Amino acid sequence: MSKSELIALVLAQGEQIKAQAKQIKAQSEQIKTQAERIKTLESRVEELERKAAKTATPFSKKKKKSSPKGPGRQAGKGRFEMRKAPLLEEMSEIQEVYSDEMVCACGGELDHEGFELVSVTDIAAIPKVEVRGYRIEIKCCKCCKKRYRGRHRDVGEDQYGATAHRFGPRILSEAHSLHYNHGITQRKVPAVLKELTGIYITQGLLAQNAVKQGGELGNVGKAAAAIGGSIAHSQRVHTDDTGWAIGGNGAFLMGFESEHEVFYQIRRQHRNEEVREVIPSDYQGVMNTDRGKSYDATELLGVKQQKCLSHIQRNLTDVEETKMGKVKWFTAELKRLLRAANELWHEQQDKKISLEEYLAKGVKLNKQITCHLRDRTLKDADNQRMLNQLGAHHDRGNISYQIHFAT
C-alpha cells in the first residue's frame, strides 16, 4: 500500500469515527428521552393501579415524614376551650359526695371549705321511647255501609290493618341521617338505632321510606324539585357529572351548582335530554361545562356556555405527554394562554384589579387565543383534532365567554 493510499485510508476511518460518534450521541439523547417517557408512563400506571385497587390511602406515595405530627390539637395552635358546665335545670339529680378523710396526712385537722359542682353527661340506661296512641272513630252508613274514619295530621289515611302501627318521622329522620349524613351503611343502621334508642327498624323499611321521601309527593322530592326549578333562573350554573350505578348497572350522577343552590340527579344516560331537565333550551344565564358532547347538542346551541378552562388544560396535557420536540409547542402555548385567562379571572373576582383593567387585559388575551386557534392545517393529527374542536368552541364564544360576560 502506497503512502497516499495509507493517508486516504486513515482520513476515511477518521470520518467514519466522527459519524459513529455523532450517531452514538443521537442514540444517547434518544435513550434519555425514552427513559423519561418510561418513568412518566410508570407513574401513570402506578396511579391507575392504585385507583383500581380502591385502597384506603390512594394518595400515599410510600414516603414517610422525618418528623410526623402527632394526632389531635398541636400545642399552642388552635383554640382550646373547656367543656361548658350544663345548666342546673338540665341535671336530673345532684348528689352530695363527702370526703372520707378525717385527718390530713401530715396530722393536721381538716376544715370544711365548701362543695365543687361537677357533672357526668350520659345516656339513660333504658332509653325513653315516646309511643303515642290514637283511638280512631269509625262511622258506618246505615244505608250503603260505607265507612268513615276520623282524621289526624299524624295518622295516615291508609294507616289501618296490617299497617296500623308505624314509626314516627323523628326516628325515621334520625335513621336516614345516620346513613346519608354520617356514612353508616343502611344494613348497620338498625343495629345502631337499637343500641341508642331501643327501637328496632328493619333495613327494608328504611329503603322503602327513602324511596317514598324521594318521590314526587315526598318531602325530599318536593324540596329537590324546588331547588331544581330555581337553578333554571340563576345567573350562572356549573354542571359536571361522574360515574354512578343503579342496581349494579352503569349510570351518571349529574351535578348542577349555582350561587345559592346545589342540585343532583341520577340518570341512566347523560344526553342533552337529561341536561334540559334542569337547564332548559331558553336558559338566559351562563352554563359552565366541560367538553361533553351532550352540551353541544342542537337543542343547547342557544344557551351561553363557558367551557371549563381547567378541563381543557388537562385534555391538552394528556395530548402533550405523548409528544416530543417542537410538536409540543401547540398544546404548551395554548395551556399558557388559558392559564393566564384563569388567573386574570381570579384577580378580578378577588378585586385585585378593576373591571376596566380586567376587560382591557381580557380583550388582548382573547385576541392571542383567537390567533392561536385560527383555522389552519397542523402536521400532528392530535394537535389538529384539538385545534378543530377547541376552535369551534372558541368561534361560539365558549372558551372566553367569561370576559364577555363581565361586560
Give the integer Cα–Cα distance in Å for 292 and 274. Answer: 13
> pLDDT tens digits, residue range 366-377?
999 999 999 999
> pLDDT tens digits, residue range 77-98?
767 667 788 888 888 889 998 9
**What DSSP element (H or E) covers 30?**
helix 3-53
Count of C-beta atoms within a 10 Å radius of residue 166: 13
Confidence of residue 56 (pLDDT cuts 50, 70, 90): low
Kindly tell me the burial class for residue 195, based on how many C-beta atoms sit within 10 Å of its own C-beta (0-12, 13-18, 19 or more): exposed
**What DSSP element (H or E) covers 171?**
helix 169-176
Confidence of residue 406 (pLDDT cuts 50, 70, 90): very low
Q: Worst-scoring range by mean pLDDT, 101-115, 188-202, 309-323?
A: 101-115
Kindly tell me the burial class for residue 25, based on how many C-beta atoms sit within 10 Å of its own C-beta (0-12, 13-18, 19 or more): exposed
Residue 86, pLDDT score: 86
Specify the DSSP class assigned to residue 152.
B
Separation of CA 210 from chain center: 23
Grid coordinates in use for 381?
393529527
Mean pLDDT, the chain, rounded, equals 88
Give the integer Cα–Cα distance in Å for 253 and 261. Answer: 17
Residue with cell 380583550: 363
Q: What are the C-alpha distances in Å from 143 to residues 138, 195, 358?
A: 16, 52, 82
Confidence of residue 59 (pLDDT cuts 50, 70, 90): low
Whether residue 275 contacts residue 368, with contact meaning beta carbons closer than 8 Å, is answered with: no
State the Cα angle at 258 between 254 and 259, rounded to 5°.
150
**Nearest Cα to Cα of residue 397 among 259, 301, 313, 328:** 301
Query: Per-residue pLDDT for 404 more than 70?
Result: no
Confidence of residue 3 (pLDDT cuts 50, 70, 90): confident
Q: Would you list the DSSP string of 321-373?
A: TT--GGGGHHHHHHHHHHHHHHHHHHHHHTTSS-HHHHHHHHHHHHHHHHHHT
Query: Per-residue pLDDT for 37 more than 70?
Result: yes
What pTM does this model have? 0.62
Q: Worst-scoring range by mean pLDDT, 119-133, 187-201, 309-323?
A: 119-133
Residue 377, pLDDT score: 93
- The edge-to-edge listing of strands for the beta sheet with 286-289 is 262-267, 249-257, 236-246, 286-289, 304-307
Per domain, the residue ranges of the chain are 161-214, 219-307, 309-406
> pLDDT tens digits, residue range 258-304?
999 999 999 999 999 999 999 999 999 999 999 989 999 999 999 99
Residue 48, pLDDT score: 84
CATH superfamily of 219-307: Ribonuclease H-like superfamily/Ribonuclease H (3.30.420.10)
Residue 401, pLDDT score: 64
Whether residue 245 contacts residue 251, with contact meaning beta carbons closer than 8 Å, is answered with: yes
Grid coordinates in use for 221?
322530592
Q: What are the C-alpha distances in Å from 177 to residues 173, 189, 210?
A: 6, 10, 11
Please name the residues in contact with 154: beta carbons below 8 A apart, sequence gap of 6 or more: 132, 134, 168
Q: Is residue 249 classed as helix, strand or coil in its secondary structure? A: strand
User: 95-106: string of b/e by CB count within 10 Å (b at 16+)?
Assistant: eeeeeeeeeeee
Grid coordinates in use for 260?
345559592
